[in-house]
Amino acid sequence: MTSRSTTTPARTTMPAFPAESATPKSRRDFAVAQQITARLALSPHVEAIAVGGSIARGIGDEFSDLDLYAYCSAFPSESERRELLDPIAPTHWKSHQELAQHGILVDSFLCGDTEVDLNIVLLKTVEACLHAVLVKHDVTQRLQAFVGGFVDAVPLYGEPLCETWRARVSAYPDPLAHEMVRKHLRIEPLWVPGLDGCREGDLFVLYEALCRVQRGVLGILLGLNRLYAPPSYKRSRQLLASMAIKPDDAAARLEQVFTLEPTEALASLRAITEETFDLVGVHRPEFDVALARKRFTTNPALADEP
């Protein structure tokens, strides 16, 4: 293994956790990230390292793992990675190679009781993802999540490079906002077998429809607010709290949909969707909202178009 130094890490100081209100879990895992960084920075292939996800945002809880990103000019071998991290005694190591051809490796392991996902990402992969989203306006959720991750990421090593990426991502392109709204504006109607899925035994189909419509609504709101899509909607309350443009009480109402009786749930979600169409009409007038409404409220079995 070749390293910058065999005795000292590439940097001897680490930035303090920036979030004053960070949870205890976030602070503990951040300390683990600092230990890992001090070792990984010895590799000549590593150009930058950053903490991402809920730990970076300071909202980590008992269900959170530590998402750490090492940006590299080339992949350090698995033996090199294991040797570098051996002093911090990781356990239950598993290396995931599924995305290697796309320039990403993932090492999963435990450091004490901290679950770590170490994402090793080639610099050319970062540039390709940034180009796809910021220039080509690709709205694929996994690409959006990767690029959007630079907004909240906390650099631990190679800060100038991380800050350069953050600056590029922070300039959210208007064509990307347009494309996000366009993709999600065609929300499928809530028609399902029986009377809107209320026939006994059709609840599985009903809840599939409710989730489908909510994803469409959230996708539109992300575009209206110029926010990158998250990897999943498991923290929808926080996501909606960050939005200035949204229906009134959006988070509470969207959650309530899954606790109401079926007919009430459908009526409530229809109202939220209609209000979202109203917001599109105000903030993205280039779209034909009337057509979107018609598609959403028309029974496909009776529609003239496919």
User: Digits of tens for pLDDT over the chain (306 positions)?
Assistant: 444 433 333 343 456 566 678 899 999 999 999 999 999 999 999 999 999 999 999 989 988 999 999 999 999 999 999 999 999 999 999 999 999 999 999 999 999 999 999 999 999 999 999 999 999 999 999 999 999 999 999 999 999 999 999 999 999 999 999 999 999 999 988 765 444 555 666 778 788 889 999 999 999 999 999 999 999 888 899 999 999 999 999 999 999 999 998 888 889 999 999 999 999 999 999 999 999 999 888 766 555 554
What are the start-end ranges of the H helices in 76-185? 78-85, 123-130, 141-152, 159-170, 174-185
Q: Which fold is adopted by the domain 24-170?
A: Beta Polymerase; domain 2 (3.30.460)
* Confidence (pLDDT) at 262: 83
CA-nearest of 263, 274, 251, 268 to 206 is 263
| Strand (E) or helix (H) holding 115 | strand 114-122
Please tell me the predicted confidence (pLDDT) of residue 2: 41
Between CA 89 and CA 34 the distance in angstroms is 14
Residue pointed to by tokens 């903030």? 283
pTM of the model: 0.87
- The answer to whether the beta carbons of residues 110 and 116 sit under 8 Å apart is yes
In the prediction, which pLDDT does 168 show?
97
Distance CA 184, CA 131 (A): 22
> Quick one: pLDDT at residue 283?
98
Backbone region of residue 70 per phi and psi (left: phi > 0; alpha: psi in -120 to 50; beta: other values): beta
Cα–Cα distance measured from residue 242 to residue 246, given in angstroms and rounded to the nearest whole number? 10
pLDDT of residue 142: 94
Say what the pLDDT of residue 301 is. 59
Contact assessment for residue 185 and residue 292, using Cβ atoms and an 8 Å cutoff: yes
**pLDDT the model gives residue 1:** 44
pLDDT value for 39: 96
pLDDT of residue 4: 47
Round to whole Å and give the CA distance between 107 and 82: 10
Q: How far is CA 106 from CA 25, 71, 109, in A?
A: 22, 12, 10
For residue 107, give every residue at least 6 positions away whose Cβ sits within 8 Å of its Cβ, in sequence order, or none.
78, 81, 93, 94, 95, 96, 116, 117, 118, 120
- Do residues 150 and 128 lie in contact, with contact meaning Cβ atoms separated by under 8 Å? no
